[in-house]
Structure formats: C-alpha cells, structure tokens
Amino acid sequence: MENDDGLFLNVIDRLAKGGVLSDIVLVGSWVLPIYREFFDNAPEIPVLRTTDLDFLVGMRPKIRCSFDVPSALSELGFEPEWSLHGSYCKYVHPEMEVEFLIPEQGRGTDMAVTVNALGVQAQPL
C-alpha cells in the first residue's frame, strides 16, 4: 500500500498543479485515509480502500482552468481504457485506476459526459 499512497499523492499533486482540484471532488474510499489523518488517526475511520481513485465532477461541470488530465496521468504511467461501449474512459496503472464521475441525470442516461476543460469523459452514476 505504500506505493499506492505515493502514486495517490502524485496524482493529487498533478491535479493541484493543474489548478483543477477546486473544481472536482475526491470521492470514494480514498477519502478515508485523508479523514483519518485529519482526525488524528481516529481508529473508527478505516484505512481500507479500493484501487480506484474517483473524482466527482459537478452536474454542470464548471471547470475554471483547462488542464490536460490524460497527459498528466500518462506521465505517471496511466493508460486510457475505454468502456465496452466506448462511451467513457478510465485511466489504468498497475497499482491504481483513476475515474471521473458525474451525477446521472435521470434513469437510463448512461452516456458519458465530455468535460472539455479536462479532456476526460465523466461516467454518470
């Protein structure tokens, strides 16, 4: 897990340098280690996490700063992997996956939303 932590921090660092962390939200199990550290290693906050790093983009993405996320992730060893339908893409590394999510707008709207400012396709959930 130590390598995962280093890779996680590298991804966060790249997104921070790109100026996009104020416009997207880290969600999922990778939030727990951050909470645990923030709350002085509170034992009731588990540190278990999945291998996917999820970022939530708002319903109507308002990204104030353009940043080429695919290139930044590629520099860290991530490769794009398209869904079977080819509608959305996640970024895969041997140690971790990075996905961008967006709230689903009604049942059955499973088409990805292109976030041009980031160069990614967000998966509706």
Angle at 116 between CA 114 and CA 117, to 5 degrees: 135
DSSP 8-class letter at 21: T
Query: Are the C-beta atoms of residues 31 and 10 closer than 8 Å to each other?
Result: no
| Count of domains for the chain | 1
Looking at residue 94, what is its pLDDT?
95
Q: Which of 16-25, 32-41, 44-53, 79-88 is predicted most confidently?
A: 16-25
Say whether pLDDT at 1 is over 70: no
Output the domain CATH number for residue 85: 3.30.460
Which pLDDT score is estimated for 2? 46
Average pLDDT over residues 79-92: 88
Between CA 25 and CA 42 the distance in angstroms is: 23
Q: What percent of the chain has pLDDT over 70?
A: 90
Residue 11 has pLDDT above 80, yes or no: yes
Domain extent at residue 88: 2-124
pTM (two decimals): 0.86
Mean pLDDT of the chain: 88
d(CA 88, CA 123): 6
Whether the pLDDT of residue 84 is over 50: the answer is yes
pLDDT tens, position by position, 95-114: 999 999 998 876 666 678 88
Task: Check: CB of residue 111 under 8 Å from CB of residue 61.
Answer: no
